[in-house]
């Protein structure tokens, strides 16, 4: 009897790590190139691509292996994760699908879901224990791990609350409260965001001043990547001004001096100045003693000063309060 060569399931969306993802969609009619009916195992992958939950149930009930792999070592879970079919992913996992199988290029269902930005599938896979292959800043040798690296298992987010909308959350690290900035799963496949994260770390490592929020460390060797800073429980200046109203002259002067000292420290950074570019009351935090600290350097920039040309708006944020920062 002639042995049939394993079939490649050339579906609409291919592995996130495949060298060629621009393949045309195959006709999903259950037939191979010779017009013969394909094996039930391959039909499982076709049905996963077509979101046919009932058809998948029937195949699995008939004894088909939920972890069947095609010639590229891809499974039905890979296919469903690529397409973003949450209900198909859920069914396959309930029926015993391996959560982290690697295809021939090393991609997992979670890796594919991250690449195609299927956020609900990402959450579902992570709930079942799926782990990203590695963070974009991962290093191969232990001696290359940055000194600021924090073990994510030391961070406790029990009863965590959001400090600033969509940015920082409250956590505990080695018994102290900290503010943690998490980078979402979309960052892993976005080189610009990873570069911005790396630049932000480069800035934070340089900063040591009583009027600037203190950087404590970061998580860069696993995902999600995070920045950990001191937590200032008294909140930001914006909320304080809204609650208190007009300030006494002495308080206004004290606040102005705190901000000026922090900003002057940044501007005097060597070898190049640090420009905040987003200085506003919501980015000025109060410590336990009521002193102010400059915070949130997400859009900061190391400014190389060139005396032979003026700064342009493309290099600045063009907010009036920030323009003055460039010409102090």
Pairing state of beta strands 274-275 and 292-294? unpaired
- Beta-carbon contacts of residue 59 (< 8 Å; ≥ 6 apart): 40, 43, 44, 47
pLDDT confidence of residue 87: 97
pLDDT confidence of residue 66: 96
The answer as to CATH 3.30.200.20 being correct for domain 142-230 is: yes
Express each pLDDT in 237-293 by its tens digit: 999 999 999 999 999 999 999 999 999 998 888 777 888 878 899 999 999 999 999
Tell me which CATH code domain 1-132 carries.
1.25.40.20
Express each pLDDT in 274-285 by its tens digit: 888 788 999 999
61-97: buried (b, 16+ CB within 10 Å) or exposed (e) per residue? eeebebebbbebebbbbbbbbbbbbbebbbbbbeeeb
Say how far apart CA 80 and CA 88 lie, in whole Å. Answer: 6
Express each pLDDT in 291-316 by its tens digit: 999 987 654 554 444 444 444 444 44
Asked if 300 contacts 200 with a C-beta cutoff of 8 angstroms, the reply is yes
Express each pLDDT in 85-125 by its tens digit: 999 999 999 999 999 998 887 789 998 898 888 999 999 99
DSSP 3-state of 182: strand
The answer as to CATH 3.40.50.150 being correct for domain 237-326 is: no
Question: What is the greatest pairwise CA distance in the chain?
Answer: 95
Task: Report residue 251 as tokens.
Answer: 């308080």
Asked if 124 contacts 94 with a C-beta cutoff of 8 angstroms, the reply is no
Element (H, E) at 14: none
Residue 30 reports pLDDT greater than 50: no
Report which DSSP code applies to 186. G
pLDDT confidence of residue 100: 92
Say how far apart CA 236 and CA 160 lie, in whole Å. Answer: 19
Task: Report residue 138 as tokens.
Answer: 């991962």
- pLDDT range class, residue 133, cuts 50, 70, 90: low
- Catalytic annotation on 278? yes
Say how far apart CA 201 and CA 146 lie, in whole Å. Answer: 11
List where CATH 1.25.40.20 sits in the chain: 1-132
List where CATH 1.10.510.10 sits in the chain: 237-326
- pLDDT range class, residue 319, cuts 50, 70, 90: very low
The catalytic residue among 278, 288, 296, 308 is 278
pLDDT confidence of residue 300: 52
Say how far apart CA 42 and CA 238 lie, in whole Å. Answer: 59
């Amino acid at each position: 009897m002639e042995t049939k060569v394993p079939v490649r399931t050339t579906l609409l969306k291919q592995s996130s790590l495949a060298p060629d993802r621009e393949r045309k969609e195959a006709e999903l009619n259950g037939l191979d190139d010779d017009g013969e009916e394909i094996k039930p195992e391959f039909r499982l992958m076709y049905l996963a691509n077509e979101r046919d939950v009932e058809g998948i149930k029937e195949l699995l009930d008939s004894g088909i292996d939920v972890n069947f792999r095609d010639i590229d070592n891809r499974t039905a879970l890979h296919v469903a994760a690529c397409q973003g079919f949450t209900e198909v992913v859920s069914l396959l996992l309930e029926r015993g699908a391996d959560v982290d199988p690697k295809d021939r290029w090393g991609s997992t269902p979670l890796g594919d879901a991250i690449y195609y930005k299927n956020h609900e599938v990402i959450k579902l896979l992570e709930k079942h224990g799926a782990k990203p292959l590695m963070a974009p800043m991962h290093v191969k040798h232990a001696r290359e791990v940055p000194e600021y690296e924090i073990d994510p298992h030391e961070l406790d987010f029990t009863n965590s609350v959001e400090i600033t909308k969509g940015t920082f959350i409250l956590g505990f690290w080695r018994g102290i409260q900290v503010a943690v900035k998490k980078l979402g799963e979309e960052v892993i496949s976005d080189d610009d965001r990873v570069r911005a994260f790396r630049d932000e770390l480069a800035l934070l490592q340089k900063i040591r001043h009583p009027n600037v929020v203190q950087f404590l460390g970061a998580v860069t060797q696993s995902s999600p990547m995070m920045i950990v800073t001191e937590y200032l429980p008294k909140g930001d200046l914006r909320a304080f001004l809204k609650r208190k109203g007009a300030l006494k002259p002495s308080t206004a002067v004290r606040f102005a001096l705190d901000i000026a000292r922090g900003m002057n420290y940044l501007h005097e950074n060597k070898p190049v100045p640090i420009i905040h570019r987003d200085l506003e009351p919501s980015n000025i935090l109060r410590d336990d003693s009521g002193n102010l600290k400059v915070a949130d350097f997400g859009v900061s920039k190391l400014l190389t000063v060139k005396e032979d040309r003026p700064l342009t708006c493309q290099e600045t944020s063009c907010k009036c309060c920030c323009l003055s920062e460039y010409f102090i």
